[in-house]
């Protein structure tokens, strides 16, 4: 269980609260027709790999924010999962990420 940044909207998410972490997608979604549809919905072409997506962006499940914690939008593509499972900016490795939030809902 760890935190990650959604590859579509940039928000902070927990792997336990979405069905769209890339490991899950790789293991459980093998049927090619479904895969194609999910990729289309996520704006990926057929050759692109699935990233990690929050519960609101995930084409599986309810397609809405789970509400377990506030949805924190961070500058897209600038954060990574730290070895301890927290999230941090790629450049300065600071895990206190709320101060970087663009919006919190």
List interacting residues with Zn ion (CB under 5 A).
6, 8-9, 54, 57
- The CB-of-11 to Zn ion minimum distance in angstroms stands at 5
- The CB-of-57 to Zn ion minimum distance in angstroms stands at 3
Q: Please, which residue, 3 or 57, has the CB nearer to Zn ion? A: 57
Residue 101 corresponds to which tokens in the numbers above?
A: 């939030």
| Strand partners of residue 72 | 104
φ/ψ bin of 63: left (φ > 0), alpha (ψ from -120 to 50), beta (otherwise): left
In 3D, which of 26, 32, 22 has the Cα closest to residue 52?
A: 22
Give the C-alpha separation, 48 to 96, whole Å.
31
Q: Please, which residue, 18 or 88, has the CB nearer to Zn ion? A: 18
Q: Please, which residue, 2 or 83, has the CB nearer to Zn ion? A: 2
- The CB-of-53 to Zn ion minimum distance in angstroms stands at 5
């Amino acid at each position: 269980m760890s935190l990650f940044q959604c590859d579509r909207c940039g928000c902070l998410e927990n792997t336990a609260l979405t069905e769209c972490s890339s490991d899950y997608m790789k293991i459980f979604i093998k049927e090619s027709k479904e895969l194609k549809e999910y990729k289309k919905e996520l704006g990926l072409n057929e050759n692109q790999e699935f990233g990690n997506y929050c519960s609101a962006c995930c084409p599986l499940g309810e397609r809405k924010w789970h509400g377990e914690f506030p949805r924190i939008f961070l500058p897209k593509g600038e954060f990574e999962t730290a070895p301890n499972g927290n999230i941090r900016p790629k450049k300065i490795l600071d895990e206190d990420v709320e101060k970087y939030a663009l919006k919190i809902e």
